[in-house]
Amino acid sequence: MITGNRAKGTTPPSEDPGCVLVVDDHQPARESMADVLRQSGHRVQCCSSAIEALGLIEDERFDCIVTDLMMPGMNGVEFIVQLERRKYGAQVVMVTAYASVSSAVEAMRHGAFDYIEKPFSVDQLEQLVAHAIRHGRLLDGQRQAAKAGEGRFEPSPMIGSSRPMQLLWQRIAQVAPTPETVLITGESGTGKELVARAIHAQSDRRNGPLVSLNCPVLSAQLMESELFGHRRGAFTGADADRVGRFELAAGGTILLDEVTEIDLNLQGKLLRVLQEREFERVGSSETIEVDVRVIATTNRDLQEEAAAQRFRQDLYYRLAVVPLHVPPLRDRIEDIPELVAYFLDRSAIRLGREPCTLRGDALELLAEHPWPGNVRELENLITRASVLGTDTAVDADQLRRWLQAGPRRRESDSPETPMPVGLSLQETERNLIEATLDHFGGHRAKTAEALGIGVRTLSAKLKQYGYAPRTRTFLKAG
């Protein structure tokens, strides 16, 4: 059942060892899985049937249960149903030689974390169990915080067992313990901020503050004040001294979200902080030294931005000491069932109702969708399904109506219409902005996100093209 040996030079994922129960009526398979998991550092017990396992869990607490699907007396799905009725908190991994979308949906509908198909490798089993244990502990922490009234849910953890996510986790583990500046790149909605939080949480600064700044929403003057603080009277409206984000992050980490939106003149001051670890508040000559780790994110190619003189090249080199790229969802579609299960569970807890369920054809549709909005789009879709779904499982037709559509075609356009030839780049840019803005009903933030630019950059271009908000028309020619 388990094929191959552990890859040479790899280390078992023992950073999250837990207590695991293996349930399988086939003794060689049961013992083989138990041996692999014990070598990974887990404490493992075994049962030869689901009925025996139900008796054992009355007195034992397990982080993860690995169960076969086809067993005499009570099969794997029936076992999961019994665990669900008992509100037993372990994450369940189903082992099956009969894997299909329908069996996966049925298992996940009753609370299974994921399933694995025979034959599978040592690495596959180790990684899946490690992820299940980590996922369960994250959910437990969120539930405890919610019960204790400590505030809303924390941002979604990074979910996924795909190869791209495995590589990302490895890079985070390498980078986090170091003091180096990190540049996180990736499309909007991929989870760049979650990567930044994971780096901080695994660093030596984890007991210090993590202070973030959303760069696109601030003007140049407000940005400088937010970053470095100001003295009373430094500018109109500065009625009192203000401590900036760098001071607030002392001893911890500062996250500069979408760093390309920082004004070019201000980028020079940011460069000095990275080089000298000191700055002055706006309106003050007093130099303040600060010990802060800097993490920056961007959805653009900073090398291209620097070449176009929209971003300082020397600042780029200072930020990109350790670059990390977050893969888009379309490059890790095998993570979609795991993400769906997590978002369904999270929505159910937040809404105080039973989890919504998806039919097999709905999951197939999700696997075929290009996901221009990435994980954020999937999360919004699952939330919508959880809120608007009925007692019956949501099917593909329902999901299809809710999936993000591309920019609307004009009536004169057709699928066969070729790319216009002879238009200048400026005309092409204006037409693209106009079509995208029309698609989002004039909403600038959504338009900017879809185009991969900041709101301030979009506003400048709209001003350049003479955009009239009331009529949603462009008054100037391209």
Nearest residue to 242 (alpha-carbon basis) of 224, 234, 230: 230
What angle do the packed helices 122-147 and 336-351 form, to 10 degrees?
20
Q: What is the CATH number of the domain that holds 392?
A: 1.10.8.60
Residue 323: predicted pLDDT: 94
Q: What pLDDT, on the 0 to 100 scale, is given for residue 395? A: 87
In a shared domain, residues 214 and 345: no
pLDDT at 293: 96
Residue 413 domain-assigned (yes or no): no
For each successive 10 residues of the chain (478 residues), what is the average pLDDT?
A: 54 64 94 93 94 92 92 90 88 75 59 77 86 73 48 57 90 93 95 92 90 79 86 82 86 93 91 93 92 95 91 94 95 93 84 83 91 90 83 83 52 43 66 77 75 76 69 52
Domain final position from 325, 360, 375 = 325
Alpha-helical (H) ranges within 121-219 are 122-147, 163-175, 192-201
Strands of 52-168, DSSP E: 64-68, 91-96, 112-117, 120-121
- Read off the pTM: 0.56
Q: What would the two tokens of residue 418 be?
A: 């070729």
Could you tell me the CATH number of the domain that includes residue 112?
A: 3.40.50.2300
Q: Where are the beta strands (DSSP E) in 281-331?
A: 287-289, 293-298, 322-325
Q: How many domains does the chain have?
A: 4
Residues 71/47, Cβ–Cβ less than 8 Å: no
**Could you tell me if residue 151 is inside a domain?**
no
3-state secondary structure of 159: coil
Q: What is the largest CA-CA distance in the chain?
A: 79
Question: What's the token pair of residue 422?
Answer: 């002879």
Are 251 and 312 in the same domain?
Answer: yes
Q: Examine the domain organization and report whether 218 and 312 are in the same domain.
A: yes
Domain of 373 in residue numbering reads as 332-402
Would you say 269 and 315 are in contact if contact means Cβ atoms under 8 Å apart? no
Sheet with 91-96: list strands edge to edge: 43-47, 19-23, 64-68, 91-96, 112-117
Kindly tell me the sign of the dihedral angle through the C-alpha atoms of 164, 166, 169, 173.
negative
Same domain, 450 and 371: no
Same domain, 168 and 42: no
> 130 and 194 in one domain?
no
Please say which residue of 278, 304, 325 terminates a domain: 325
**Residue 382: half-sphere exposure toward Cβ, Cα within 13 Å:** 27
Q: Do 260 and 308 touch, CB atoms closer than 8 A? A: no
Q: Do residues 194 and 74 both lie within one domain?
A: no
Q: For the purposes of burial, counting CB atoms within 10 Å of the CB of 129, is it exposed (0-12), middle (13-18) or buried (19 or more)? A: buried
| 71 shares its domain with 101 | yes
HSE (side-chain half, CA atoms, 13 Å) at 299 = 23
pLDDT at 348: 83
Element holding 269 (H helix, E strand): helix 264-276
Is residue 320 located within the same domain as residue 437?
A: no
Q: Which amino acid is at 127?
A: Q
Position 396 in a domain: yes
Please tell me whether residues 88 and 47 are part of one structural domain: yes
The verdict on residue 313 lying in a domain is yes
**157 is a domain residue:** no
Decide if 13 is inside a domain: yes
Contact 200, 295 (CB under 8 A): yes
Residue 452 maps to which CATH number? 1.10.10
In a domain, 409, yes or no: no
Which of these three, 293, 325, 357, is where a domain ends?
A: 325
What residues have CB less than 8 Å from 365, skipping those under 6 apart? 396, 399, 400, 403
CA distances from 326 to 192, 295, 370, 374 (A): 7, 14, 16, 11
Are residue 129 and residue 167 in the same domain, yes or no? no
Residues 32 and 128 in one domain: yes
Q: Is residue 119 part of a domain?
A: yes
pLDDT attached to residue 159:
86
The per-residue pLDDT for 114 is 74
What is the structure's pLDDT at 65? 96
